[in-house]
Structure formats: structure tokens, C-alpha cells
Amino acid sequence: MYINLFFNEEKVKNVLLFIKNDHEYYMNRPESKILQYYAVQGSKIGFYHVSYIYSTLFAYLLLPTVTLVIVSSNQSEFRNLPVVVDFGVDVQQYYYHLFIPVYISIFVVIHVIASYDNTYMVYVQHTYALFAIVNYKLKTMHILDTNSFIDFKNDRLMEKYNNIKLSSVDKEKIFRKLVLCIKEHQYAIEYANLVESLFSKSILAQLFCNVIVLTLSGFEAVTNLGVNTGNMTKFVALSFSQIIRIFALCFPGQRLLNHCEELHAAVCEIRWYVLPENCHNLYKFVLARSMIMNKITAFNMAVMSMETFQAIIKTTMSYFTVLLSTA
């Protein structure tokens, strides 16, 4: 995962420059509220995701360990580490010497996974903000006074703007607004394509590994049911964490599709009949381009969406059932 970011250092740099420049460009504009909203939303999602990962790690590592400490008052009882390791020494004799480095290594690996997932979600989150800004500008295309943020839920205000009459100077301003909106749409598409190219290969590799781990951990959880409570707890926690990870890869792609659909709906809802005649041809290009959805893909083999998430879980359950039937 981090190898992907290492070998795509230039793309990561460009993504960060995109985000930095956007926040500086919209700093004193009404659209800054949209950027701030999605930035705060992204930080909350990241916090919840990391909290779940570390709580799962707690269940995977600490609960079986506490159970082992409580139960193993007898020194002769066999003790296991959370993962299978071979240091060339007797694990039982040097259990507590191996305990610390193994646990630290697991925490480091989980931290890397959590930080990578957060990076992915934050980068895609900014894509939503850019499409939401274009959406906002399309809905306010016929409104010339946009120095302050316009609340679309205020029906009285929207009725006021819908009944305005446009002069020739106003029509020229609207034409410039439409041209600027098209440029910002192209800018959002460029950023979305950059993010997709950055994560496309690694998403495919992660999905492949997640399916294997989910299948095996589910199998181990069932086989340890009623036999070894500690192992069952570990593998149940691991199974749920893999499901959440697959969801975390698919859900941002679904949200991007939703924002593209909302943008297309906004284009269709434009009061195009009040626009100047020189805007009509440009409007047709915007309408045609908005029908092409930007996507996050797994190396162009699968579109990240909730439909893909369901298909992956169904496939994993099939592998899981096959393993159980042959056990």
C-alpha cells in the first residue's frame, strides 16, 4: 500500500497541490463553505474509521491475551502468540521476550493500513467537494449576486431569483459564469482522474488480499466455535475488520458516482431557457459531458461501488462455503 504511494510520489505531490490551491482559491468565496463542509466530514469519517480499526485490533490482540493471562495460572499451559512466528527458539520458554516485538510489529502494520485508508478517503473526499462546487455554480447560474452563499432551501429567496429579468450586460456575465463553470468542471474531472490513477492498482491488490483473508478468517472463526474462545474472538474480529476494509474501499467510489449523478441532475435542472442564446451550445456540451460518470476503479477491472461490495461479499461467502464443505 505504502509502496504504491512511494512509486507514485509525483502524483501524490500533484494531489496535495490540487487541494492546497483549491483552499487558497476559494478562501474568501462562498464556495469555501462547501470545501469546509467536506473537509470536516472527511476528518470525521477518518476518525470513525481509525477508531474502528484500533478497536478491532484491541479485540484481536488484547482480549485473547487477557483471557490467556487469567486462565493460565498454571505455568504448564500452552501459550500462543497472536500470529504464527518462527524465531528459531522455544516460544513457550521465551514467550514474554517475543510477546513485545510481535505486538509492536502488529501495531505498526495496523497503523500503516489505517493511515493509508485515511489518505485514500481524504483524497477522494476532495473530489466530492469539487463536484459539489460545480453543482452549486450550475444551480446559481442565473443569479448574478453570488457574493454570499445561497441557501437553496430558502424557497422565498429562490423564487425571487427565478423571477429576475436579465439585461444585455447581465447575459454577458452569465455567459462568462458558464465558461468558468465549464473550466471548473474540467478541473474537477482532471483531479478525479488523477486520484483514480493513483489508487487504481493498489485497490485491486488490496481487494484480492482482503477476499483471501476474509475467507480464511471466517473459516477459522467457525472451526474454533465452541473449541477455542480466544481464537474465535480473534478471527471474528479479523473477519469484521476485512468487511469494513472492503466497504471503505467501495463506499468512496459509490459516493463519487452519486455526486456525478447529482451534477448531471443539476445540469438538467438549469433554467436554460432564460440563458442567453450564446450559452445554448455550451450548455449542450456540459449536458453531454455530465452524462459520463467519473469512477474509482480497481485497475479498470471493477468499479468501486456498493454493487461491487455486494458482489465481493457474495464471492467470499462462496469460497467460505466451499472451504467448510471440504473441511
Whether 200 maps to a domain, the answer reads yes
Q: Which three cell numbers stand for residue 53?
A: 480499526
State the helix-helix crossing angle for 280-290 and 229-268, rounded to 10 degrees. Answer: 160
Let me know if residue 254 belongs to a domain: yes
Residue 46: count of CB within 10 angstroms of its CB: 19
Domain count, the chain: 1
Domain for residue 291, yes or no? yes
Rounded distance, CA 237 to CA 61, Å? 10
Q: Hey, what amino acid is at 201? A: K
Structural domain for 171, as ranges: 2-138+152-326
Domain for residue 145, yes or no?
no
3-class DSSP state of 88 = coil
Query: Residue 144: inside a domain, yes or no?
Result: no
d(Cα 197, Cα 182) in Å, to the nearest integer? 23
The reply to whether 308 falls in a domain is yes
- Dump the DSSP string for 231-289: HHHHHHHHHHHHHHHHHHHHHHHHHHHHHHHHHHHHHHTS-GGGS-GGGHHHHHHHHHH
143 within a domain of the structure (yes/no) = no
- Give residue for cell 455530465: 290
C-alpha span between 283 and 267 (Å, rounded): 8
299 is a domain residue: yes
pLDDT (tens, 9 = 90+) of the chain, 327 residues, equals 567 777 888 999 999 999 999 999 998 888 899 999 999 999 999 999 888 888 878 777 766 566 556 555 555 556 677 777 777 888 778 777 888 888 888 888 888 888 889 999 999 999 999 999 999 888 887 777 666 666 665 556 555 556 666 677 777 888 888 889 999 999 999 999 999 999 999 999 999 999 999 999 999 888 888 787 777 877 888 888 899 999 999 999 999 999 999 999 989 888 777 777 888 888 888 989 999 999 999 999 999 999 999 999 999 999 888 888 886
Query: Any residues with CB less than 8 A from the CB of 85 and at least 6 apart, and which?
Result: 91, 98, 102
